[in-house]
Structure 1
């Protein structure tokens, strides 16, 4: 059977299975089995066993459940309340005032959770009721949460960066370091947008907000409020610093993060036996789901290799003589569309084995591409019909998915702008990893 026909059959089969609500991992395995039957004389069973064992038996992935567990521990122990108390005195006087707590609170929590959905749910539970009580513009309240909540995918330690590093054999430490400046760039873009919007918005609600926030915090009160952020800052600094200075590998840093998070919650008096067990069970379930998806993707990758589809696709794109810029434009559109139907991890594991040889053929750095891919996947988290952050916010607000997506659209455009900046100025991504090489 011709390679092109096999590709069409496999693509249609995958979308049918996903539309039917079958688990992503099972759908990937079924499509891989079909690919082996249609395009290869090799026994599918042998390939299935060896690839699934190889996908699960990875040292790099050992950090994954630890980082997930660390985020679950902090998620259940009122960390967001401490962040709100610490940030509000410093951000309350900016145009947009407490809306910036949404943005920077998500940025801080993303750096200790690694999960987009956990970041959105945790910060949203804390900030949305407070913003509503103060009559903040609902569109900006929900929009800032939707956009900033996606930073859990980018700011290290990022679960999706671990998955990308494991599937592409790239350094997870370098990926973590590469995500810092783009993450800060997005935070600054979101902050600037809110300040501009708030400065030009002269509504009755804005006047009420200004009256409510008229209290002037003294410098001593602001410095005292920072003590609420100290545990979080120490945890982030300990994690990133240990990796950056070569003290610990990402896997070892993940174990240190779990110990530190348990210590922080114990010292704060919020650690309980029930919370400990719940966090452990939730982290176990999430980790198993991700490894199951990775195993299915590894089998599909191997099956694709036997059919010759990746080689044919790479040769076709090579024949088109796409420039790196045009290739990235096409891939951005492709990933956004794909992200409308799949979660971020599934997008990464489904596409990287096919896409990576193509981007390397046009001399695009795989570390840069990993950060680019995560930012584009972030964009897909706030696009219907399967934007995961939209579902999280819907559960918090009971708003219609399309309404939430409309509120989040400006932040989608800001992420797209960040992708453009990264394309024209790749050192935004690559400068810190290059400094890491100098140590």
Structure 2
């Protein structure tokens, strides 16, 4: 994400020119946008599939499990692919796998089969794992380390802008007449009629995911032919004698992966459960609520781009993120589920529809979360040298938090209520706070 000139990977590196960095950032930014489209569609997809496949909260959050568990299962294989192919070819392969996952949505939608939907999501996310394993260290290593968080913030801006736009587009295309699919309407129908209506709803997914597959394949070809330089010393020849488990000797990396685990969990909870929560509070346009969270994340990334490293260090940004996350989490748990004064005060001037205060606090977690990912990556990868690819894979495995923690939230919400279950956020932000204060400084286990 920015234009400085130092590469400190495995020994002396070539200094990239400003033009090559700009070209690389343009392509990587487009790929972050694509990843954002695929990722943040889940926030609208979850309540959609909950109705189309007749699910409860816990069952519907298998969407996040199938999607994010791929990052854990496929991270080390992805690192192995990168060692053989290099980063540029790895990005292209990842896009092709994503396209295949999008194609699988077509038979899933035609059969209205929830297991097949989950398989499609897992395949889509497997391609994204390879993409993430390649593009995150790539963007860290094409410039100076002290400005790495700024570069990642710029890329996050692409990612979260997609997160703002995609739920709006999805709701406009898919949820325009959603009132006819309400729980009350379906409950009043006979079982065969309700099943037919659900099947018709599921088949609406055929067109958008078909178009997604075509676009991903085209992008795979473009990236393969693009003038992206390889990161020196990061291909197989530079990794000889490197054990994939040797990364465990770096506490700042292992603890960084754990911090990313809880961070991705709270990020997904804030972005993907807000629609379910809004639906439970009878918010009329619950399908667009993910856009609220993503809008605050965009604001957070803009702050990061402007302030880091000029006024804020990466460590200070992480500390502020953790503290604000704790504060907003208390707002979610204790806020009003009926009053809307907070959203009217913050967003009323923009003509944005008002939402209950507790929903607004949940959306504001997007602002708290924005700088966690860009701050942890450079801190965790500091000094890894030839272990960078394997270290990146370990950090990517931390994305499993997005699979497990939302599932735990779903179970708690079915048992104790949607609002009360958000207490789960507090220990997660406490762990991020520990990494910001001490964990990133630990260079030895002794």
Same fold (TM over 0.5): no
Mark the structure with the bigger radius of gyration. Answer: 1
Q: What's the TM-score once normalised by structure 1's chain length?
A: 0.30
TM-score normalised over the length of structure 2: 0.30
